Chains A and B, each alone.
Chain A
Amino acid sequence: MTTTQYRVIGSRPVRHDGADKVTGKAIYTADTKLPGMLAGFVLRSPHAHARVVSIDTSQAEAMPGVHAVITGADFPNVEDKVADLGEGSVNLSYLSSNCMAQQKVLYRGHAVAAVAATDVHIAEEAAKKIQVEYEVLESVTWVLDAMKEDAPLLHDDLVTDSMGAKAEQPSNVPVHLHFEKGDAAAAFEEADLIVEREFRTATVHQGYIEPHAVVADYNEDGRLRIWTATQGSFTCRQQTAEVLQIPLGNVLVTPCEIGGGFGGKITVYLEPTAALLSKKSGRPVRIAMTRADVFEASGPTPGSFMRVKLGAKSDGTITAGEAWLAYDAGAYPGGMIGPGCMCVFSCYDIEHAVVDGYDVCLNKPKTSAYRAPGATQVAFATEQLVDELAQKLGMCELEIREKNAVKEGSRRVDGPVYPPIGLLECLDALKQSDHWNTPLSGPNRGRGIAAGFWFGCGLKSSAACTVNSDGTINLLEGSTDIGGSRTSIAMQLAEVLGLEAEDINPQVGDTDTAGYTDVTGGSRVTFATGMAAYEAGRDLQQQMRTLAADLWDCSADDISVGEDGSFSAGGKTVGFKELAVELFAAGEHLVGRATVSPECPTNGFGAQIADVEVDPETGKVTVLRYTTIQDAGKAIHPSYVEGQLQGGTVQGIGWALNEEYFYQDDDTMANASFLDYRMPTMLDVPMIDTIIVETGNPDHPYGVRGVGETPIVPPPAALANAIYNATDTRMTELPMSPPKLWKAMQANQTSE
């Protein structure tokens, strides 16, 4: 556990962008207005799968107020080429046809044309006058159906890559992954107890409140300026440049304030379209998705089918694991099956395990990351089976987890050996918690627990700190701030320099001014961009030592920098501000800089406790009490760490109990609105208690681990375990919505 006392780290200053955000002054993309700006509207496919026979745009073009109409024919040909987007990679030809369909539409909502007009209503009316002739094709939206030999094919040229071996016949399965350690078959033979179940989860959406939006201004000189809602301005720049086949250096991406992302605002959807409309019309163009577009045409996260098996010895040691996982990729290859495979047994030290995973294309929008992408599904399966083992062995569900929890030196099925990690510490905090030690009583009530894991990544981050004449600092960094990261980064710089958080003015730069920085994702910003800010501060201190040596007539090596950021030599001690002011006055204008690319995962573990009451008449689940525990390594700003824990948990509760894409007979979505998709409201959840565990990450100067993603992983499993303890009914399908739970309870009663 970390015990170091810090001045700024661990305190709770008001965030730097706070006043702007409570007064309505903060500028989000849809708030951006340029002179002469037009409004864009995207025409989308009403069919789940169809060949585009012809498109006639003439009536739309003739409408007064319309300045440009584009279709797939306006997009350049993009070759098959895989581009690294920071967190995940993408085939650019797929990316391009996902932005605008070429010969085929692969899901309802797939873009087929776009209009720019003086007003969004005119653009919409014009778009509706575009005549698209479709040849409707057979479609498929269930993952196991899409894997069948006679399934309708989405891509004629797609063959399965099975750990490097290519299949001969095309299919909807681009990738088969296989991991194993030890000898799982033999271990199952020797197990005293085996549990095995099949699980299904529905497609769900990140549900950010801000719809995707972009403003593009294509200049006569070939420069393209983009203001957009993105989790990564640099990856947005790269994708846009590649799809449009223009030089990367011609594109400037300015990240506006962003209204939520959770992994769903990394891929470009609108940027190339807006750019082409701007190029054609000679005017800036703004496009914003409607809420229905967001559901139908952005990137939800995979639905799945999973068969998972665990074997244990009678003392509770889990000795064998087997998983067969099939995840939706959506319309194009590249879903979340990789992390699914790596996370299925990531919390338990299982000596023998085998995992097979399949990425499956089907007629749904191309899936995207969603907070610990791929991990929540497998936790729903594994964490229930662990409970079932405990129950059959007569063990406590906490005891079996403590007995089998991964720790330093445990090897995951996909290879990596864990450095020091904090799962046991989280389970211990759970055991000590008031929640766990307060008995739950009453009919139809139950308590469940579950553990969760997410890797957390490093990637690349840059920071620059400029010293002002009064000794305060302007911090320039490139991480889009979705939840207060400006402040958590600035606090680390303040700590190293011996300043207050308020002495730092953090700013998120655009792609022309900030150093290269990967996406805000992978729970990496406070970890990696914070590390860059720390290193930039160190760089500044080095420069100041050298300059102070001249002033003080000594060698730089004679000057030491204290924990409080002060500079000392020969019995003389000067604080950072004092020296900075003196150097500025002497004509030294200082900029500290750093670029970091930590390769290590930050390994975030957590555990959660859920108390529920189930209405036996309706199957409705009420969450009575909830506690989320997580190893943050070191919490820089505890309030915002708690906020991540609470927010992720409530998203997980929505995923568990209610959210799903309902598909109709024609494979189109029936509930593409907030009202019908029905994310949790304030009235649906209780207070979310949090316990922050701080084990310290040896790979970060202040011990930070990422915290953003892990909290969404345990809720469906913890709630399923609680529901089981309340009703004796084991739920193997998400969401555990009233009709599904009621049916399962009825079936359970009949079978008894």
Chain B
Amino acid sequence: MSASKKVHVTTTINKEEIDFLCEPRHSLLEVLRDNLGLTGSKEGCNNGNCGACTVILNGRPVDSCLVLGVEVEGAEIETVEGIACSSKLHPVQECFLEGAALQCGICTPGFLVAAKALLDKDPNASEETIRFDLSGNLCRCAGYDKIVRAVQAAGQQMNAEA
């Protein structure tokens, strides 16, 4: 397969079926950002170290810079743009705002997606579980304290709403 020959891919992103063409070398992150205009997923390192590009792929959080665009044929993907339900923010988004859990905001989309993936499984996640599960997401501004608290608060809110 030539490096630049484009491949047709059909996938579901934020509950909407989407077709795109991409080169085999293009990462899912490049496809999301450059082909589909979904720039909420951020590139901090392009090698899976920082988590700013985290998306949920078939129910699991992944670094979208480490997934190829051609690999997501038939997959279900959720990005930061799809977390909110129509005009209502997801509890994790609300709790990040209320708890001042962001400063520059570049790592925030990755944290929100990773936190949602964790809380969907376990809204009662302990501080230790949160710290372990989200340790693939780097934040350099906030020192993590308010992020951990916001994720805990979001879990409680999800329980209350359930």
Tell me which residues across on chain B come within 8 A of A650, comparing CB atoms.
143-144
Once the chains bind, are A291 and B46 in contact (CB under 8 Å)? yes
The minimal Cβ–Cβ distance linking A158 to chain B, given in whole angstroms, is: 34
For residue A165, CB closer than 8 A to chain B, the reply is no
B39 near A: Cβ within 8 Å? yes
Give the interface size class of chain B: 35 or more
Q: With A291-B47, A640-B100, A679-B140 in contact, is A209–B132 under 8 Å at CB?
A: no
Contacts A260-B106, A687-B148 given; indicate if A675 touches B140 (C-beta within 8 A): no
Interface membership of chain A positions 208-241, coded 1 if the CB is closer than 8 angstroms to chain B and 0 otherwise: 1111000000000000000000000000000000
Residues of A within 8 A of B13 (CB): none
Contact of A646 among B98, B132, B146 (CB under 8 A): B146
Q: Is the CB of A259 within 8 A of B46?
A: no
A24-B79 contact given A209-B42, A211-B44, CB 8 Å threshold: yes
User: Taking the complex as formed, is B138 at the interface, i.e. its CB lies under 8 A from any CB of chain A?
Assistant: yes
Known A207-B140, A209-B52: A22·B108 in contact at CB below 8 Å: yes
Whether B40 contacts A674 by the Cβ 8 Å rule is no
A30 at interface by CB-CB < 8 Å:
yes
B89: chain A residues at CB < 8 Å are: 19, 22-23
- Contacts of A26 on B, CB cut-off 8 Å? 105
Which residues of chain A in 82-107 are interfacial with respect to chain B, using CB atoms and an 8 Å cutoff? none
Partner of A210, one of B42, B131, B135: B42
A679/B138 in contact, CB under 8 A = yes
- In the complex, the answer to whether A291 meets B97 with C-beta atoms within 8 Å is no
Give the residues in chain B near A648, CB-CB below 8 Å. 143
Q: Does B60 touch A at the CB level, under 8 Å?
A: no
Q: Which of A10-18, A404-412, A459-467 contacts B (4 or more CB under 8 A)?
A: A10-18
CB interface residues, A 629-643, toward B, < 8 Å? 637, 639-640, 642-643
CB of B105 within 8 A of CB of A14, answer no
Q: How far is the CA of A70 from the CA of B132 in the complex (A)?
A: 46
Q: Is the CB of A674 within 8 A of B138?
A: yes
B25: interface (CB < 8 Å): yes
B145 within 8 Å of A (CB atoms): yes
**Residues on the B chain within 8 Å of A738, using CB:** none
* Residue A688 lies at the interface, judged by CB distance under 8 Å to chain B: yes
For window 137-159 of chain B, which residues contact chain A by CB distance below 8 Å?
137-148
* Residues on A with beta carbons closer than 8 Å to the beta carbon of B25: 121
Q: Is the CB of B47 within 8 A of A675?
A: yes
B104-162 interface (Cβ within 8 A of A): 104-109, 112, 130-132, 134-148
Is A186 located at the chain interface by the 8 A CB criterion?
Answer: no
A202 at the interface (CB under 8 A from B): no
A22 touches B140 (CB 8 A): no
Interface flag for A420 (CB, 8 Å): no
Task: With a 10 A CB-CB cut-off, give which of A675, A681, A682 has the most chain B CB atoms.
Answer: A682
Nearest A residue to B149 by beta-carbon distance? A687
Within 8 A of A (CB), among B16-43: 23, 25, 33, 37-43
- Whether A291 and B49, one on each chain, are in contact in the complex, defined by CB atoms closer than 8 angstroms, is yes
Question: Of all chain A residues, which has the CB nearest B137?
Answer: A682
Chain A residues near B79 (CB, 8 Å)?
Answer: 24
Once the chains bind, are B145 and A31 in contact (CB under 8 Å)?
no
B84 neighbours in A (Cβ, 8 Å): 23
CA gap between A121 and B143 in the complex, in Å: 35
Residue of B38, B108, B137 near A21 (CB, 8 A) is B108
Q: Give the CA-CA distance A211 to B46 in the complex, in Å.
A: 10
| Inter-subunit contact B131/A683 (CB<8 Å) | yes
Interface string of B41-72 (1 = CB under 8 A from A): 11111110110100000000000000000000
Q: Which residues of A contact B134 (CB under 8 A)?
A: 682
Chain A proximity of B119: nearest CB distance (Å): 15
Among all A-B residue pairs, the 7 with the closest Cβ atoms = A24-B40, A259-B106, A646-B143, A650-B143, A674-B49, A21-B105, A639-B100
5 pairs, A vs B, C-beta closer than 8 Å: A121-B3, A643-B100, A643-B146, A651-B143, A682-B147
Which residues of A are at the interface with B, using a C-beta cutoff of 8 A? 12, 14-15, 17-19, 21-28, 30-31, 33, 121, 206-211, 257-262, 288, 290-291, 482-484, 637, 639-640, 642-643, 646-651, 673-675, 679-683, 685, 687-688
Apart from A673-B47, A675-B49, list 6 A-B contacts with CB within 8 A: A15-B97, A291-B44, A482-B103, A484-B103, A646-B144, A647-B103
